[in-house]
Structure formats: C-alpha cells, structure tokens
Amino acid sequence: MPKPPLIVILGPTAAGKTGIAIPLAERLGGEIVSADSRLFYGGMDIGTAKPSPAERARVPHHLIDVADPDQTWSLAMFQGAARQAIAGIQARGRLPLLVGGTGQYVRAVTEGWAPPAVSPDERLRSALEGLAAEKGASRLHATLESVDPVAAQRIDARNVRRTVRAWEVILITGRRFSEQRGQAASPYDLCLIGLTRPRPELYDRIDARIDVMFDLGLLDEVRGLLARGYPPDLPSMSGIGYRECAAVLRGELTVDEAKAQMKRLTRTFVRRQSNWFKANDPAIRWFDAGQTNVEEIEAYIRGWLASH
C-alpha cells in the first residue's frame, strides 16, 4: 500500500522557512504542522519568532500555542500530536507540510522514532534537578558525556530538562539513553526540502532578527510572563532570549549585553542544527533561500508528487 506523502521544510534558524512555507502551502493546497519546540507555548511570541496572526490566517497551522509555558511537551507527546495532525490534514484531502528547525522533532516524525518507554520517576528527577542546580547544568551534561557521548552530543548542554531525562532513563534501565531509541520505517513518503543561506548572511539575519525582537517589545513579553507567575527556571523560559531578558529585568545584564549574548548563542545553535541535517545528505534537496523563488520549489515538489 502506498505511503501518504509528507512535505518537510527544514533548515537552520533565520533561514526563512516561514516565508517560504506559507506561500508553498497556499499554492499546493496544504496545511502546516510546526516542528519547532519553541512554538508550542502560548504567550511566547516575539522571542520565538512565531508566525504572526496574519500569516497563520493565510494557511492553517498546527501545534502552535498548544501548551502553557509551565507545561512540558515531551518528544513522545509531540510525535503523537504531529502524526494525528498530519492524519487529519490527509483525511481532508489536503497536503501536510512539516516545518521546523528542531532536528530531533523533525526526525521523530519522519524516521519513525520510538522514544524510550520509561515512566518518569519524580523522586529521581527531583534529585537530578537539584544536582544540576547545585553543580551547574554544564557539570551534569559533562558527566553524561562520559557515560553516553552520543546522547550528550545530541543534547544542548544548557537544556537541563533533556539532560535530566537522559540520566533518568540511564539510571532506571542501566543502559545508555542513546541505545534505547527504537526506530521503524517511516510511515510517510517523504519529500525533504532544505532551506539554507551562506553562513555570513545567516548570521546577519540572526543579528537583525534579535534587534527587531527588542524593538517589538521582547522585554515587555518576558516581564508579562514573569508577572503571570511563570518563573525564569522553567524549561520554556530557559530558551535563548527569555533567559537573557529575565537577567536584564533582574539588573544582571544590560540590554546591549543581552543582545550580544543572544546573538552569540544563536550562532552556536545554528552550528548545532547543522549536525542534524547534513548538506551532503542525498535525501534532502537543498535550496538557497536567498537565491530561490517559491515557484522553483513549488515546481520541484509538484514534480516529486507526480513521480510518487
């Protein structure tokens, strides 16, 4: 039985995925499923570069604003919700487009990952979180690297939640976290579209985006989240931009220092994203987003659909 088609638009932060995915979806009769973990949370709009209400009105979007900032969406939760959204789009006779730069979330859907089926142990998790708070997140991540270097390479050292989860699974099962991710054949016929730009151009776009975020009121957005009772140590609030703005509001950083730190960290994040999606991966058709028009990508996808 033929597998249903799934168009995947992937690429690094600030490459221009939203600007291309929306007109593509309009032209192809599609709907967008977000694979960006930062877009799950309502009220976190500016710092995540979330598609605007006007953009979202042009094409139906899924898995945006589906959680409060103090809720945690696991990889397994996302995978189930994404597949349900994709199935609904297909049932309506529409074309699903999975769009995002969070590599593990894209691959969880496209490669049929089966995340470790280990129930949370709240006492162990609390102890590990306490250790991270006492010794530092980087120290906990460094010890993970000595035990499971593959898992450590895939987890950002600043992501305490994922580091704690990896240790939790290791300590409960006695096996490396990286060895417990099952994988089955993809349930979809995949058309993988990669959007990229030359690194200097990408960095310039990142810098400009961060300056615009402050112009749009990022500090006020973070101030409002804190006032609503969302503490700065939440996983959602520890993302780039929110952490730095909270430090500004505490008087620990100036705005210029926060901007510089955000730009530096985002560049590092872009380099980590390239580890998930290789430029020489034959399964991905790469386009230079600055040199390619939507019509060219549309023609490629229509040709792919016709041949599949």
Please write the tens of the pLDDT for every residue from 70-89: 998 888 889 999 999 999 99
Residue whose structure tokens are 């101030």: 223
Query: Predicted confidence band at 116 (pLDDT cuts at 50, 70, 90)?
Result: low
Query: What is the rounded distance in angstroms from the CA atom of residue 75 to the CA atom of residue 62?
Result: 16
Chain region(s) in the chain for CATH 1.10.20.140: 122-180
pLDDT tens digits for range 143-189: 988 888 888 887 877 778 788 888 888 888 877 887 666 566 789 99
Mean pLDDT of the chain: 90
Phi then psi for 287, rounded to 5 degrees?
Answer: -130, 140
- pLDDT the model gives residue 244: 97
Taking a C-beta distance cutoff of 8 angstroms, is the pair 20, 9 a contact?
Answer: yes
Query: What is the rounded distance in angstroms from the CA atom of residue 14 to the CA atom of residue 211?
Result: 13
Query: Does the 5-115+183-307 domain belong in CATH 3.40.50.300?
Result: yes
pLDDT tens digits for range 195-236: 999 999 999 999 999 999 999 999 999 999 999 999 998 888
Query: Predicted confidence band at 238 (pLDDT cuts at 50, 70, 90)?
Result: confident
Chain region(s) in the chain for CATH 3.40.50.300: 5-115+183-307
The amino acid occupying position 103 is: G
Task: Indicate the range of 5-14, 59-68, 132-141 predicted with least confidence.
Answer: 132-141
Query: Does the 122-180 domain belong in CATH 3.30.1490.20?
Result: no
Q: Which residues contact 250 (CB under 8 A, 6 or more apart)?
A: none
Taking a C-beta distance cutoff of 8 angstroms, is the pair 31, 59 a contact?
Answer: yes
Q: Among candidates 90, 26, 34, 101, which has minimal Cα distance to 59?
A: 26
Long-range contacts made by residues 76-80, C-beta under 8 angstroms, separation at least 24?
A: 76/115, 78/35, 78/37, 78/40, 78/105, 78/108, 79/108, 79/109, 79/113, 79/115
- pLDDT the model gives residue 186: 87
156-159-161-165 Cα dihedral, nearest 10 degrees = 20
Looking only at the bridges linking them, the beta strands covering 5-10 and 182-183 are unpaired
Query: What is the rounded distance in angstroms from the CA atom of residue 15 to the CA atom of residue 197?
Result: 6
pLDDT above 70 coverage of the chain, percent: 96
Measure Cα distances from 53 to 50, 56, 61, 220, 290 in Å: 9, 5, 10, 19, 24
Q: Three-state DSSP class for 58?
A: helix
pLDDT average, residue stretch 1-8? 92
The answer to whether residue 240 scores a pLDDT higher than 70 is: yes
- pLDDT the model gives residue 197: 94
Query: Predicted confidence band at 277 (pLDDT cuts at 50, 70, 90)?
Result: confident
- pLDDT the model gives residue 146: 86
The answer to whether residue 117 scores a pLDDT higher than 70 is: no
The amino acid occupying position 184 is: A
